[in-house]
Amino acid sequence: MKKALLLCCSFLLWAAQLLAAPANVNFISERGVPFKLIFDGNLLTRRVAREVYLDRVQPGSHWAEFRLPAGRGYVKYRTRVFLEAGYESSYVLVTRQGYPPVLRKASAVPMRGPWRRNPHYNDYPGPYGNSDAGYDSRNDDRDGSYDNRDQDRDGRYDDRDDQRDDDRRDDRRPEYSGRYRTLMNAADVDALLRVLKTKAFDKDKLPIAQEALAQSAIRTEELKRLLRGFDFESQRLEMAKYAYDHVADPQNFYQVYELFNFDSNVKELQQYSAQSRPTDDYRGNYRSTMTVAEVDALARAAERQAFDKDKLSIMQDGLARTALRTEDLKRLLRVFSFEDQRVELAKYAYPRLTDSQNFYQVYELFSFRSNVDALQDFVRQQR
């Protein structure tokens, strides 16, 4: 009897913790296709976005409607998503020519707790969700609806001119205190740089730039332009740290290191990015394979460093959220002067290979048998 009572109490405690846990969700388009998002009837993006991130949403079943600009109208796609308590889910909006859109679940990783309650919204900041306990994840996308009546396949679209307001819903800021991010384009960065130029001191530029990025995302290439707007590396470093969590392509973040002349600042930024990686693993679980151009860019960035240990840090940073081929890994390994760092990178890159069956090809880059044996032992342990 006591054991049954103890088991019941443990179950109730576990259930209470589960109910107290919110959920996070990230929606991203596969090839950067812009979209508008209506989440549970609330329009979250006044203009179009390529990635929308919502935090502290009530777990359960929700409706997500995507509107993809096409000519003079929109392609509308509506589907149901299920958010598990205490997890951060990532969904990818796949759009292929000749096929209707489809939303695919890319990953679900545990969130870090504990979570603070918000008494104004019944423990959650948004009015969303219901406890749809009878949900089957296999049906996650089967009830999606697709409406192509507004589609104009021959139309051209430029998101800089997207000022349309064909939505008859209330377009004011929804009752949702979470974060949603729109991607800054080149014109947005140009406008921000013009504002920064009006300020004489970097300490006055920093809060303006941070405010502009507060609810936005930015590509690494645009971030580099923004960082050049600061005269001193101290403020440039602070801005780079702040922007790290807002970078849309974090696998390319290593490229900002070239803007710093002091090794101490580069190392501090590398340490900061390494510590921040576990908080955005949802991006890493949906990895894209590096192109030849991206591999060459990473190799050039590493070659600018004088010591192998600094080259290793940059390469690990560049590979943290990407996948690569064995042939490209060999290209990176040749950058090192000594085999000890070459071994470390080979071990780091092995789980990220798209063709791990070809990993044996890297052994030809090692002269010492002991290093080959170490790599072979590592591969056996991974298997």
Q: Please, what's the b/e burial string for 130-167 (b: 16 or more CB within 10 A of its CB; e: otherwise)? A: eeeeeeeeeebeeebeeebebbeeeeeeeeeeeeeeee
Whether the per-residue pLDDT at 38 is higher than 60: the answer is yes
One-letter amino acid for residue 344 of the chain: E
Digit-coded pLDDT (tens) for 96-145 = 776 788 898 888 888 765 544 333 333 333 333 333 333 333 334 434 55
Residue of 131, 142, 70 lying closest to 104 (CA atoms): 142
Question: Rounded to the nearest 5°, which phi and psi values hold at 283?
Answer: -75, -35
Q: How far is CA 69 from the centre of its chain?
A: 23
Query: How far, CA to CA in Å, does 240 sit from each of 189, 217, 227, 277, 335?
Result: 15, 13, 7, 15, 26
Tell me what the mean pLDDT of segment 272-294 comes to: 63
Most confident range (mean pLDDT) of 95-104, 142-151, 357-366 is 357-366
Whether the per-residue pLDDT at 373 is higher than 70: the answer is yes
Kindly report whether the global pTM for this prediction surpasses the value 0.75: no
For the chain, which residues make up each domain, given as ranges? 20-161, 184-259, 288-382
Q: Cis ω on the peptide bond leading into residue 34 (within 30° of 0)?
A: no
Residue of 342, 331, 350, 335 lying closest to 367 (CA atoms): 342
Q: What is the pLDDT of residue 173?
A: 34
For residue 353, give both structure tokens: 């290979």
Digit-coded pLDDT (tens) for 182-205 = 778 888 899 999 999 999 999 999
Q: What is the pLDDT of residue 228?
A: 94
